[in-house]
Amino acid sequence: MQINQITFTRFIAALTVVFFHYGMHTLPESIPWLKNSITAGPIAVNYFYVLSGFIMAIAYYQIKPSKPLSKKRYWIARFARIYPVYLVALLLMAAASFSELGQNPLALPLHLTMLQAWLPGYPMTLNNPGWSLSVEAFFYLCFPFLLALIYRFGLKYLAIFTIVLWLITQYVLLNGINSPEYSANSALHDFVYYNPLMHINAFLAGLLCGVLFKRNADKISSPKLIWLVSSIVLIIILLETQPFIESLVGMKIAYTNGLIAPVFLLFIWLLASSKGRIAKWLSHPALILLGEASFSLYILQKPIFGLYNKILEKRLGLGEVADFYVALILLIIVSIASYKIFETPARTLINRKFN
């Protein structure tokens, strides 16, 4: 079951992460009513988790399973999908931070084993976007068991567990970020924002929604464009009004751990069920290519921007805004090349050899 129109949204989400890290003072970020949306990088990572659960269901859930999912084949396929480029980006950052590795000897082993998100103090070391892959690896580890539970017991118990877990996650998160012990570099900060247990509710929500979508695919009609546009507008409104909502409730809130996952699911469901011109336009090969290259865009952003700053920035003398966009274009080109020349062949090779 192919849902090509969703693929390009991964590129948009990855782009907001890049703007969050490097483009905080550039257009269109400087447009007041788009400021929080353009730089919603941490929230976009949560979108990735919701979308990942949805796509895993579409790819692997069988309405009438003929045989159980092979855990070995699944885990090898997931490893082949994310680890080669992840490793290249990590080694580039390790080489750039070689003098610091001796001061923090656990950092490299934790990143190599994708365990950095579990230990406070380590998620943001070396190639810091990699923390989310540490979380995603945990989801991949759990997925075959979650799928087996769905086959055995249906969706009811997992849905109840997901709702309870979502409520617990929001309670822990809101209490954590509003407690006197909270600070930006504290162990509490690293736990509530980076620990995989604080994000799996989003993956589970996407998984459940994907199973429901696949079960009812023949009955789902294409939504009117106004509903799809409204879901996008709703996301933008939630992002742009977050400071106002915080002042209204008198406490900090965070969208990074699944708080607005239901709205993401609404958007994903509407887009996945679209069959008209929007779906056809978003399924253009160029947009699909950008979506497929979004993983390289995401994981290679720090080494590419770092290399640009060290090698080209002073020589070109373009200024902050122009430097950002030149580096961004370079990152997009490198990401497409990485997907075509390295990522896809490496994935094929690993699957062929071990699967």
Instruction: Supply the pLDDT for residue 34.
Output: 79
Instruction: Supply the pLDDT for residue 351.
Output: 95
Report how many domains make up the chain: 1
Instruction: Please list the ranges in the chain whose pLDDT falls under 70.
Output: 29-30
243: CB partners within 8 A, 6+ apart: 36
Instruction: Supply the pLDDT for residue 30.
Output: 66
Instruction: Supply the pLDDT for residue 104.
Output: 86
DSSP string computed for 6-36:
GHHHHHHHHHHHHHHHH-TTSTTTTSGGGHH
Count of helix runs (H) and strand runs (E) in the chain = 19, 0
Instruction: Supply the pLDDT for residue 87.
Output: 98
User: 283, exposed or middle or buried, with CB in 10 Å at 0-12, 13-18, 19+?
Assistant: middle
User: 197, exposed or middle or buried, with CB in 10 Å at 0-12, 13-18, 19+?
Assistant: middle
Per-residue tokens: 59 = 């790819």
Q: Which domain holds residue 208?
A: 4-354
Separation CA 56–CA 33 (nearest Å): 34
CA-derived radius of gyration, the chain: 20
C-beta separation of 30 from 36 below 8 A: no
